[in-house]
Amino acid sequence: MHPLIGITTNRVANPKNPFHTVTLSESYLRAVQAAGGTPVLLPSIAPKETWDVLWERLDGILFTGGDDVDPTRFNGLPHPRVGGIDEPRDDFEIAFLQRAVKEDKPFLCICRGIQVMNVALGGTLYTDIADQREGAEKHDWYPDWPRDQRAHTVKVMANSRLAELMQSDEVGVNSLHHQGIWDLAAGLQLTGTAPDGLIEAVEVPGHRFAIGVQWHPEWLQDDAAMRRLFEALMAAAA
């Protein structure tokens, strides 16, 4: 079995023509393929009347990293570092995330993805961690550091699906974000925190597979624990 995994995509404005460029790091595709899945890119500009067609064909979903979620989605504080707002992408991902929770479709959320997960279920975000969280460590290490360089550890909570997969109560992770979870959505279970207390991992209790991580495991595929995140998604989606 090679479950069909829909992967969300980013859009970048093109100053030379009216069409955006759809982008996605190949690292996501390779991680899905290595775990036994068949990746397919999801266009955020797909007309809403076609969403059901996409939905029915997917065995699972990978919500990827990218630009910021629009702060108006969660009554967030304005900040000059907020950028890359993409209304169609927010619309598409929030709708698919909510439906995945409701209909028990397996999904994994990475970086922006965990933020979408929290917002879609009623939580809020720091629009800039450094300015809004007292005592925060540095979390936005890219481009100063390579994407695969570990920046800090994450404390993994016992009795969680994440703990089963990490097989450890602490893991080293990369850190490439300036936003993060502030108020945790009521339907989510906290499963991982950074040394400064910032939420780094969550899951939906009782769901077939619904995990969100703030780091980028697709860039850490030399680590068996990070590969297990993708393998577990494929197993749930098969």
DSSP-derived secondary structure letter, 20 = P
Residue with tokens 């975000």: 125
Spatial distance between the Cα atoms of 202 and 190, rounded to a whole number of angstroms: 5
Q: Which helix (H) or strand (E) holds 226?
A: helix 224-237
DSSP string, 173-193: E--B-S-EESSPPTT-EEEEE
- Annotated catalytic residues are 111, 216, 218
**In DSSP terms, which residues pair with 170 in a beta bridge?**
155
The structure tokens listed for 188 are 């989510």
The structure tokens listed for 135 are 């005592």
Residue with tokens 């917002």: 119
A 10 A CB-CB count for 166 gives 23
**In DSSP terms, which residues pair with 203 in a beta bridge?**
189, 211
